[in-house]
Amino acid sequence: MLLWVSLLVLAPISGQFATSSKSVISVHPPWTVAFPGEKVKLVCSGSHFKRPEMSTPYRWYYRGKQISETSSNTYEVHDSGEYRCQAPDSIKSSSVSLLFSQATLILQAPLYVFEGDSVVLRCRAKAGVALTNVILYKNDRLLAFLSNTSDFHIRQADLKDNGAYKCSGFKKDSSSVVSNRVKIQVQELFPPPVMKASSFQPIEGELVTLTCETQLPSQKSDVRLQFCFFKDGQTLQSGWSSSPEFQINTIWREDSGSYWCQAQAVTSLVWKQSQTSKIYVQRGVAKVQIHTLPALEFVIPGQELVLICSVDGVPGLVRISWYKTSNKESMKIKIQNSLKAEFKISMVKNSDAGEYYCEANNGGLSFLSKPVTINVKVPVSPPGLTLSPPGDRALEGDMVTLLCEAQRGSLPIQYQFFREDVFLKEIEVTSLRTSSFSFSLTAEHSGNYYCTADNGLGAQRSRAVHLSVIVPVSHPVLTLSPPGPWAVEGDLMTLHCVAQKGSPPIQYRFYHGDVTLGSSSVPSGGGASFSFSVTSELSGNYHCTADNGFGSHKSEAISLSVTVPVSRPVLTIRTPRAQPVVGDIVELHCEAQRGSPPILYQFYHEDVILGSSSTPSGGSSLSLFLTEEHSGKYACVVSNGLGSQRSDTVSLSVRVPVSHAVLTLRAPRAQTVEGDMVELHCEARRGSPPIWYQFYHEDVTLGSSSAPSGGGASFNLSLTAEHSGNYFCKANNDLGAQHSEVVTFNVLVPVSRPVLTLRAPRAQTVVGDMMELHCEAHRGSPPILYQFYHEDVTLGSSLAPSGGGAFFNLSLTAEHSGNYSCEANNDLGPQRSEMLMLNVLVPVSRPVLTLRAPGAQAVLGDVVELHCEAQRGSPPILYQFYRNDVTLESNSSLSGGGSSFNLSLTEEHSGNYSCEANNGLGVQRSDTVTLAITRSRSGPVATGVTGGLLSVLGLAAAGLLFFYWLPRKAGRRPTSDLSRSPSNSDPQEPTYHSVPAWVELQPVYSNVNPEGEDVIYTEVRSIQKGNKNAAASAPRFFKNSDSSVIYSQVRVASTPASRPQFLASSAPLR
């Protein structure tokens, strides 16, 4: 049986080989066609082996030009065209074409389609467009109706699905639309695999590795594959595996045969098979090898060394023997059952150098390895550095040699020379352990020198050797600090002198002109400095010298000019008077006592610049024409380029004459009313305080007030009517008084209680009289509106624009009796007068005489009643009875209703009877009634009397009907109403009377109709209040009256039914 030895164990690798480093661009969502405004992202994928430390960005290209760099692998696009990307550590991707279509219908498909892919084709209409009868076509042939969905699915794509696709549909108006055409080319997921073997003719016992190689496209790098290996139609061992490798640890002759492999995608049914390959296993050949651990070309004394002998192809139990060529005898023998053997030297010595080999013996055969040489190498010792010629000082230009030597160390040795850690030279020696280096000195060669020695076992460094190169001084350079030819008095100035070349110590001296200022010795270079405080005397030329014992050298001279900063200025204000007034001219003068000219002067008022001027000497002035705004603080600033100085602040107060005063009246309402409190406010907008204010009413001083800090003054008035008029005020601050404009206002006075006066043509007003109502309020601001009332019913109104009261005329009727009042109003509150009562008297009408007998005929001895009554007329009415024009009797009816008179008939009573009615306004006589008396109830006399009575009664009835009909037609109540009937009269309290000796008079009105004519007038009389019973002493009506009678107007009525008329501007009485 053959022995199989496996020397290598391979770890499984991924299921596919790494793709090339070309970037891959993909689209998300996966469509290459979209509508404008939709979000489309490009994703860039690169090498799977990107180094973590790399920070290269992702680059994006559009139409061949780079458009962006991003740290992430995504990029959002919105424009149609070709795009490419480049991922870090990868080359550019292939291009992808995107289309943002304005079409109504588009067909969307994936960018790439591979075998086994699940593919979605999507027909989409533009937003807001509804399509029907959507159909998908392949190669212009109907493929599917998309009635309920817009997607068409291909479950497992293969080559039969290649072709050109499009879709169509119909809009609501039956017009058809067609989408873009999409060409689908199904690509191979991976090519058929190729099976490879580590050897197709292996030797028995060797390890053989079978590899199933295929390659996924970069777009499908994430697809997982599985593999299976076959021999002569039989599956090898475990079957399918994710590893593309299969190992035969020990192969034998019987393992020869036909081998192939299969690769299959894990998530799909796509699989492919390789071609068949023959493997022929050969018989084995013994191989013995020796190698060291560690694998070194040389070892160092004291190091551990391990020799390993590996045996291959030797069957059976093997014995390992070790040999060194120096003595040809076995150094050490180790017998073991392992295929490996080791020989260890714990601490290597120089004597361990030589050739070593091993021998493998299985009891029958021996096999020798090739020898291996072991070299023992000695590290170098620290070298020593010396100078030639010796010494640590040398002049610039001398030749010096550096000598470096290591006392121990295996050759070859590498020597390096350094000055101040700066590499100078490298020399390798192979025979001697000494190396040298020569050079000509310059000033830069001063410093510390050392060398190193290295033979590959570690570098060694020498001690440092110092060498000073002595250099004569060069011409020194003198500089000023701070730089520049100008300096300011008081500045600290530094002179710095330095010689660019020269070995220290160097002695430096400083001069102002030919006067030595100071000296300094510098032991280590860098120059010397001399500082001093500048005064005006130190202007001039300066130089310095440098000397290090090899000759003195002088610098170039430099000039210095010292300037003096300005001192603090003094500001003076020159005014024409102690207190400057607006309009004065003042001079501001500013002067600094010290300072290098020219000096710039600037003048300020409350930090606002007024002006500036530059003068060589003597200060500067500025003139001002004063205004109110010039009051405040003033200062000046001087500057000559060496800093500015500001003067102390000087205050200036400009007095301002008062301006025209403004008088303002502040009242609680738009129209001032008596009793209001009014504030008079006087203010001058301009003027220096204190200001004295005086207030005037019609040139009469009301009061005065002082405003110490401005703001005006006020004066309060409690208004009366006398306060109407013109007002003004005066403002004065001792720079001239100013008057305000005149302000006029009128104080409104509320009306007082008005007085109503009734003016009639007689003492007793009578129907038809013209009466004037006069209403007047004795106080109150005009215009005043007067209104007249009868029993609280408005009669009319009148406006009195300028006072004096108002009038209202009435043509009196019986209805005008009653209470009267008036009201005055000027919008400040109405006032009502006291009530006046008016009684309109009515003249009596023609009376009617009635004879009332107990029977149809008047018979001697009968009692006959004579009744006389006037249907109209104001009581009391005096009735008189006549027979044949001889007065029989007279009676007075105090309350109307007529009067009666009884006769006991005798023969003398026959005759003509009549009666008269009189109420003082005229006498009216009745018609004559004839009375015939008979001795008995029958006979012509009785008949005549009866006929006469009936005739009289008929006429009386007709007259009464006419009398009642007439007032109703005119809209009036008949005068003989119930209030005038005798039953309602009170003979103890007569209403009408005439008493000459009354003290307090009250108007009483009587109506009189004299003589039965249609003449109506009014008589107005007065009676004494509280003496109602005085009328009892006046049996005769209005006889011998001493009362005052006023007659307003006599008017003849056109008809008895005429409506009462009003005069002036009154409205008709309704």
Strands 886-893 and 877-883 come out as: antiparallel
- Distance between CA atoms of 1015 and 722, rounded to whole angstroms? 52
From residue 356, alpha-carbon distances to 27, 311, 375, 455, 754 in Å are: 67, 16, 11, 25, 159
- Distance between CA atoms of 307 and 291, rounded to whole angstroms? 6
Residues 581-628 have pLDDT tens digits of 988 999 999 999 888 888 999 999 999 999 999 888 789 999 999 998
Strands 393-395 and 465-470 come out as: parallel
Range of the domain at 389: 384-457
Does a structural domain hold residue 750? no
Number of domains in the chain: 7
Residues 642 and 679 placed together within one structural domain of the fold:
no
Residues 557 and 574 placed together within one structural domain of the fold:
no
- Distance between CA atoms of 876 and 898, rounded to whole angstroms? 10
Closest CA relative to residue 815, chosen from 1007, 964, 1002, 959:
1007
Q: Which residue has the tokens 């080319």?
A: 185
Does a structural domain hold residue 581? yes
DSSP state string for 564-582: ------EEEEE-SSSS-BT
Residues 987 and 1050 placed together within one structural domain of the fold:
yes
User: Whole-model pTM?
Assistant: 0.35
Contact residues for 896 (Cβ-Cβ < 8 A; gap 6+): 873, 875, 877, 976, 979, 980, 981, 982, 985
Closest CA relative to residue 288, chosen from 308, 271, 305, 262:
308
* Residue 50 burial class via C-beta count within 10 angstroms: exposed 0-12, middle 13-18, buried 19 and up: middle
What is the per-residue pLDDT for 988?
36
Task: With residue 187 as reference, give the H or E element that holds it.
Answer: strand 186-187
What is the per-residue pLDDT for 971?
42
Residues 494 and 547 placed together within one structural domain of the fold:
yes
- Distance between CA atoms of 965 and 257, rounded to whole angstroms? 162
Residues 904 and 987 placed together within one structural domain of the fold:
no
Structure tokens at 5: 């030895």
Q: Which of 376, 393, 411 is the last residue of a domain?
A: 376
* Residue 1069 burial class via C-beta count within 10 angstroms: exposed 0-12, middle 13-18, buried 19 and up: middle
Residues 738 and 684 placed together within one structural domain of the fold:
yes
What is the per-residue pLDDT for 51?
54
Note whether 1009 and 845 are within 8 A (CB).
yes
Residues 862 and 942 placed together within one structural domain of the fold:
yes
Residues 448 and 501 placed together within one structural domain of the fold:
no
Strands 245-248 and 413-419 come out as: unpaired
Does a structural domain hold residue 550? yes
Note whether 318 and 311 are within 8 A (CB).
yes
Residues 625-677 have pLDDT tens digits of 999 889 899 999 999 888 899 999 999 988 889 889 999 998 998 888 988 99
Does a structural domain hold residue 604? yes
Residues 858 and 951 placed together within one structural domain of the fold:
yes
Q: Which domain CATH number covers 574?
A: 2.60.40.10
Q: Which amino acid is at 532?
A: F
- Distance between CA atoms of 289 and 448, rounded to whole angstroms? 54
What is the per-residue pLDDT for 956?
61
Percent of all residues in the chain with a pLDDT value above 70, rounded to a whole number: 82
| CA 381 and chain centroid, separation | 84
What is the per-residue pLDDT for 1036?
38
Backbone dihedral region for residue 622 (phi beyond 0: left; psi -120 to 50: alpha; all else: beta) = beta
Task: With residue 963 as reference, give the H or E element that holds it.
Answer: helix 940-969
- Distance between CA atoms of 742 and 801, rounded to whole angstroms? 26
Q: Which of 563, 590, 622 is the last residue of a domain?
A: 563
Residues 856 and 968 placed together within one structural domain of the fold:
yes
Does a structural domain hold residue 71? no
From residue 1058, alpha-carbon distances to 730, 768, 870, 960 in Å are: 71, 11, 20, 19
What is the per-residue pLDDT for 776?
94
Does a structural domain hold residue 55? no
Residues 854 and 907 placed together within one structural domain of the fold:
yes
Does a structural domain hold residue 979? yes
What is the per-residue pLDDT for 949?
53
- All residue ranges of the chain with pLDDT < 70 are 1-20, 47-54, 205, 283-285, 296-297, 314-316, 326-340, 362-365, 937-1070
Closest CA relative to residue 286, chosen from 309, 314, 308, 310:
314
Does a structural domain hold residue 50? no
Q: Would you say how long the chain is, in residues?
A: 1070
- Distance between CA atoms of 1064 and 1006, rounded to whole angstroms? 24
Residues 856 and 902 placed together within one structural domain of the fold:
yes
From residue 201, alpha-carbon distances to 196, 258, 441, 550 in Å are: 12, 12, 73, 90
For CA atoms 597, 598, 600, 601, the dihedral sign is positive
Q: Which of 652, 675, 705 is the last residue of a domain?
A: 652
Q: Which amino acid is at 919?
A: N
What is the per-residue pLDDT for 53?
52
Within 13 Å of residue 648, how many CA atoms lie on the same side as its CB?
Answer: 5
Helix (H), strand (E) counts: the chain: 1, 90
Structure tokens at 906: 């005798």
